[in-house]
Amino acid sequence: MIGPTFPAVLTAAAGGDEDAFGVLWHDLQPRLLRYFKLIAPGAAEDLAAETWVAMIGAIDRFQGDEAAFRAWVFTIARHKARDWWRRTARKPVQELPATGLAEPPAPDDPAATVLEDASTRAALALIATLPAGQAEAIVLRVVAGLEVKQVAELMDKRPNTVRVLTHRGLRRLAQRLGADQGPRARRAV
């Protein structure tokens, strides 16, 4: 989250201020990529770029606070993903192949960053094994940082349905992680 400076950052970015735009980029681009890696694997970078183009084209007309801005950005993102699904006729959420999760890091990455990146990829890969609605609801809540009401509007569902989806998804993740930990962890449960 950008926080209290968000209104000034947004106004400046809409006016073409590149430093302010950089603040938006730093906050939103990783979230967009992680969302797209879940719902449109293989097209994350392209779809994120398309989302930014659409956002930049209308940013001067946006009115609202940071939460509303984030919801607006992810609404654009979901539309881009839906167009991509139509184009490719692929399933919206696919299990990411384990081999696809360990792309070689850039050579100048510090080791800690590499480990962190791998851990983020592994986390998203596990979330991606959930049923599509559960996975998307969890990523929109956690990664995009949206509230239940915003996720419900975005996914065209009722807030209670979103709560049920996230609830079931969390339980299923706990079951899978517990199973992965083996008998010792299961005893602890």
Q: What is the CA radius of gyration of the chain?
A: 18
Cα–Cα distance for residue pair 172/179, rounded to 1 Å: 11
Binder to another protein among 71, 76, 124, 154 (CB under 8 A)?
124
30 binds another protein (CB under 8 A): yes
Cα–Cα distance for residue pair 78/57, rounded to 1 Å: 17
Reading phi first (left if > 0) and then psi (alpha if -120 to 50, else beta), residue 42 is in left
Q: Which of residues 50-69 bind another protein (CB under 8 A)?
A: 52-53, 56-57, 59-60
Cα–Cα distance for residue pair 173/23, rounded to 1 Å: 33
Cα–Cα distance for residue pair 47/70, rounded to 1 Å: 16
Of 57 and 64, nearer to another protein (C-beta) is 57
71 binds another protein (CB under 8 A): no
132 binds another protein (CB under 8 A): no
The answer to whether 88 and 63 have CB atoms below 8 angstroms apart is no
Q: Which residues contact 64 (CB under 8 A, 6 or more apart)?
A: 72
- Which of the stretches 64-72, 80-88, 93-101, 139-147 binds another protein when contact is defined by CB under 8 A? 139-147
Binder to another protein among 67, 126, 132, 155 (CB under 8 A)?
126
The answer to whether 187 and 179 have CB atoms below 8 angstroms apart is no
Taking the complex as a whole, how short is the minimal distance between the CB of residue 45 and another protein, in angstroms?
7
The token pair that represents 167 in the structure block: 């609830």
129 binds another protein (CB under 8 A): no
Of 4 and 110, nearer to another protein (C-beta) is 110
Identify the residue whose tokens are 């990523």: 139
- Which of the stretches 43-51, 65-73, 82-90, 91-99 binds another protein when contact is defined by CB under 8 A? 43-51
Binding site for another protein (CB under 8 A): 13, 15-16, 18, 21-22, 25-26, 29-30, 33-34, 45, 48-49, 52-53, 56-57, 59-60, 105-106, 108-109, 113-114, 116-117, 119-120, 122-124, 126-127, 138-139, 141-143, 163, 166-167, 170-171, 173-175, 177-178, 181, 185, 188-189
